[in-house]
Amino acid sequence: MKVTKSDITISAVAPKQYPDEGYPEIALAGRSNVGKSSFINKMINRKALARTSSKPGKTQTLNFYLINEVFHFVDVPGYGYAKVSKKEREAWGRMLETYFSERENLKATILVVDLRHEPTKDDISMYEFLKHYELPVIVVATKLDKLKKSQIHKHIKRVKDTLQLDAGDVVVPFSSETGQGKDEAWREIERFL
Ligand code: GTP
Ligand code: MG
């Protein structure tokens, strides 16, 4: 998709704030600081529409970005961030569970993992949670630029094996630094729009 228009529609914490124009939604999921917001920016050629940070815990609400007046990217807070209080973590958990389990507009979720590392327990739980709700999942393995070429194949296989990826699901190696994987990511997303 050639993106010519992108804007924030709303930052929401509860269903009554979700946009109601009926656009399909592609949501992000993944560990805090893995690169979800950076992924959105790279895909839409914007430097900082989605706010990013080198410190985890930057995204704290469900942020709906309208792309080409065709669909919303929904940026979400990451999981696994130890520094937020238990109470806050629980509130985020409820917010995410409500969105992922109830949202009719949600067409597919991009589960972002770090290609350098083995997926965590939380990553596995998230994948299983999405499968449980029969939501399509696209796994994007980011920070590809941090790996040597010779390591890439082995690391992709480890992501697939650790998540016990369904035969029909793909892993898209990606870099928000270089833009590698962008065309493939768009092809995967467009299947659900
Ligand atoms: P939360 O909002 O806290 O959940 O984090 P997030 O998943 O949205 O991560 P964010 O996009 O804010 O990126 C976190 C850090 O990782 C930033 O310093 C980014 O510059 C860096 N980063 C993200 N993607 C890549 C990538 O592909 N390569 C490299 N080298 N750095 C990346
Ligand atoms: Mg973020």
pTM of the model: 0.96
CATH 3.40.50.300 fits 24-190, yes or no: yes
Q: Per-residue confidence of the chain (193 residues) as pLDDT tens digits?
A: 999 999 999 999 999 999 999 999 999 999 999 999 999 999 999 999 988 888 877 888 899 999 999 999 999 989 887 677 888 888 888 999 999 999 999 999 999 999 999 999 999 999 999 999 999 999 999 999 999 999 999 999 999 999 999 999 999 999 999 999 999 999 999 999 9
175 Cα to the center of ligand 1, angstroms: 10
- Return the pLDDT at 82: 67
DSSP the chain: -----EEEEEEESSGGGS--S---EEEEEEBTTSSHHHHHHHHTT-SSSS---SSS----SEEEEEETTTEEEEE---B--TTS-HHHHHHHHHHHHHHHHH-TTEEEEEEEEETTSPPPHHHHHHHHHHHHTT--EEEEEE-GGGS-HHHHHHHHHHHHHHHT--TT--EEE--TTT-TTHHHHHHHHHTT-
| Other Cβ atoms within 10 Å of 97 Cβ, number | 12
Q: Break the chain into its structural domains and give their ranges.
A: 24-190
Instruction: Specify the residue with its C-alpha closest to ligand 1, atom 20.
Output: 54
ipTM: 0.99
Measured from CB, residues less than 6 Å from any atom of ligand 1 are: 30, 32-38, 52-54, 56-59, 77-78, 142-143, 145-146, 175-177
The bound ligand whose nearest atom lies closest to the alpha carbon of 55 is 1
pLDDT of residue 54: 85
Would you state the pLDDT for residue 144?
A: 98
* Residue entry with tokens 């467009």: 190
